[in-house]
Amino acid sequence: MNTARLILDTRRRVAPVPRRLFGSFVEHLGRCVYTGIYEPGHPTADQHGFRRDVLALVRELGVTTVRYPGGNFVSSYRWEDGIGPVDQRPARLDLAWHSLETNAFGLDEFMRWVRAADVEPIMAANLGTRGTAEAVDLLEYANHRAGSQLADRRRANGAADPYGIRLWCLGNEMDGPWQVGARTAPEYGRLAAQTAKAMRRFDPDLELIACGSSHSSMPTFGTWERDVLTEAYDDIDLISLHAYYQPVDGDLPSFLASAEDMDRYIDAVTAIADSVGAIRRSTKKIMIAFDEWNVWYQSAAPSTPPSGEDWPVAPPLLEDHYSVADAVVVGGLLISLLRHSDRVTAACQAQLVNVIAPIMTEPGGGAWRQTIFHPFARTARHARGAVLDALRDSSTTSTDRYGEVDVVDAVSTWDDSTGEMSVFLVNRSADAPAEVTVEVGGARVAGIVECVTIGGGDLDARNTADGPDHAAPRPNGSARDTGTGIALTLPPASWTMARLTTTSS
């Protein structure tokens, strides 16, 4: 029997829950924008063409920030193409995804959508085919009050008030050979530093994200971070990490333990950033923006339009159809992000709609939740207050990819204003349940509010447009109050959330 013990104390905290951890990503890619969030003529479309059924699901998902407009797309994007009267905007070839970009949706539409969705924008500037001048122009258009040519253009385009965008990505995946305008680390580091300096002349309080590695298996991983930070340490605030997971050769145990890779990746980049800081004798700490993460079956759904389709508009690309196992992994990745909330202060699940996404749409039809929607929505809603520094003692299991790992992974949050405690747990064993006890110090457990689990049955079950609630969390009746905490049983390969009320002890 696998067992685990989780010891929590409400006085031992990692950090306040960074609400920006529950970010998402909208790229001009496939059907994320067109027939995703934006579909004029759709029965639910509002006066701006925004699908209200999608907006409702975005709110239910609990997304706090949305990164835009890419991704690989941004590296050859001209932001000015997407402003002004729609019928005068140019159609352009999108070199990243071999698609035709109509530019019917651009910055002003995005900012209108951001307000409707009640999320914070993260704006990416093109440092692939463009540079400092265009990034500063974009900043001026977006954030300057009035009286300059670009600010007045925004006002003429209907936005009297500046957008006040605080978080900016300085390019995207500039280490990747697939990126239009990819650079070496010193080249990119200098460009990022120069662009950041220029942007700060406009507003010193911007929060600027430099590109880290595209994933931890990049040949330049580690030296890239070191070299970029050596150039740009004083000028930027965060460094980005990207990671996508999928089962390799059907290796389910390793896939279920994907958060192990995320943990190690975050720890490695933190160590590298701190070593650059130490060499500079800097007291500043660089934070991490994990601004692309998810499960992605990279070879399953097409990432380029099917042959014969030449530069199509919004073709269906990267439309992964997620299983229960994928939802368990997504829940585990969120646990890893929360555990590192002293250093990971922003994160974006990639992406929001249709493209490797928790929300799917039918053009002209309905919108529905994929399996991965559920752990995200529950975590975003109930991870409140502070992340607790959990002491974990778990049975272990061996994986081909990560060696011996804890069977049970978990994290907990506690909100001192409400007394609500949430515990998020994953059982990574594919075939055995786990008996877990959670011991709580610093507060008294007054009751179990809710305990739900997804997994433990058909790991391949998926939701569809016709069966949108087929695979969703169900009540876990095993949770019981032990007087000093709770005890519960986690089915094999499952993600669980338990919510408790506490009173002062």
Kindly provide the residue ranges of all beta strands, DSSP E only, lying in 312-352, ordered along the sequence.
344-349
Residue carrying the six token digits 């990639």: 350
Binding range to ligand AHR, per CB under 6 A, among 60-68, 70-78, 149-157, 445-453 = 70-78
3-class secondary structure for 44-90? CECCCCEEHHHHHHHHHHCCCEEEECCCHHHHHCCHHHHCCCHHHCC
Kindly report the number of other CB atoms within 10 A of residue 22's CB atom.
Answer: 26
Q: Which is nearer to ligand AHR, 169 or 410 (CB)?
A: 169
* Interacting positions 116-145 with ligand AHR (CB under 6 A): none
Q: Which is nearer to ligand AHR, 294 or 371 (CB)?
A: 294
Q: Which is nearer to ligand AHR, 101 or 409 (CB)?
A: 101
Q: Which is nearer to ligand AHR, 71 or 456 (CB)?
A: 71
Q: How far is the CB of 393 from ligand AHR (least distance, A)?
A: 37
Q: How far is the CB of 307 from ligand AHR (least distance, A)?
A: 21
Q: Which of 22, 27, 99, 499 binds ligand AHR (CB under 6 A)?
A: 27
Q: Which is nearer to ligand AHR, 288 or 459 (CB)?
A: 288
Q: What count of Cα atoms within 13 Å lies in the side-chain half-sphere of residue 30?
A: 25
Binding range to ligand AHR, per CB under 6 A, among 65-73, 149-157, 203-211, 431-439 = 65-73
Q: How far is the CB of 104 from ligand AHR (least distance, A)?
A: 20
Specify whether the CB–CB gap between 469 and 450 falls below 8 A.
no
Size of the site for ligand AHR (CB under 6 A): 10
Q: Which of 101, 140, 173, 237 binds ligand AHR (CB under 6 A)?
A: 173
- CB under 8 Å to 470, separation ≥6 — which residues? 461, 462, 463, 464
Q: How far is the CB of 350 from ligand AHR (least distance, A)?
A: 4
- Interface mask toward ligand AHR for 248-277; x: CB under 6 A: ------------------------------
DSSP state of 178: T
Report the alpha-carbon distance of residue 176 to residue 244 in Å, rounded: 15
Residue 54 lies near ligand AHR (rule: CB under 6 A): no
Indicate the residue whose CB is closest to ligand AHR: 71
Residue 23 lies near ligand AHR (rule: CB under 6 A): no
Q: Which of 260, 292, 320, 326 binds ligand AHR (CB under 6 A)?
A: 292
CA max distance for the chain: 70
Residue 71 lies near ligand AHR (rule: CB under 6 A): yes
Q: Which is nearer to ligand AHR, 179 or 494 (CB)?
A: 179
Residue 350 lies near ligand AHR (rule: CB under 6 A): yes
Q: How far is the CB of 33 from ligand AHR (least distance, A)?
A: 13
Report the alpha-carbon distance of residue 159 to residue 82 in Å, rounded: 14
Instruction: Spell out a b/e string for 192-221, using b for 16 or more CB atoms within 10 Å of the CB, else e.
Output: bbbbbebbeeeeeebbbbbbbbbbbebeeb
Q: What angle do CA 308, 27, 117 make, to 5 degrees?
A: 135
Q: Which of 97, 86, 84, 93 is nearest to 27 (CA)?
A: 97
Q: How far is the CB of 195 from ligand AHR (least distance, A)?
A: 18
Specify whether the CB–CB gap between 190 and 174 falls below 8 A.
no
Q: How far is the CB of 117 from ligand AHR (least distance, A)?
A: 19
Residue 351 lies near ligand AHR (rule: CB under 6 A): yes
Binding range to ligand AHR, per CB under 6 A, among 68-76, 99-107, 334-342, 496-504 = 68-76
Q: Which is nearer to ligand AHR, 119 or 479 (CB)?
A: 119
Q: Which is nearer to ligand AHR, 64 or 72 (CB)?
A: 72
Specify whether the CB–CB gap between 435 and 489 falls below 8 A.
yes
3-class secondary structure for 228-275? HHHHHCCCCCEEEEEEEECCCCCCHHHHHCHHHHHHHHHHHHHHHHHH
Binding range to ligand AHR, per CB under 6 A, among 64-72, 123-131, 224-232, 413-421 = 64-72
Specify whether the CB–CB gap between 467 and 456 falls below 8 A.
no
Report the alpha-carbon distance of residue 144 to residue 162 in Å, rounded: 6
Q: How far is the CB of 118 from ligand AHR (least distance, A)?
A: 23
Q: Which of 172, 336, 349, 361 binds ligand AHR (CB under 6 A)?
A: 172
Kindly provide the residue ranges of all beta strands, DSSP E only, lying in 260-313, ordered along the sequence.
287-295
What residues are annotated to the active site? 173, 292
* Interacting positions 200-219 with ligand AHR (CB under 6 A): 214
Residue numbers at the binding site for ligand AHR (CB under 6 A):
27, 70-72, 172-173, 214, 292, 350-351
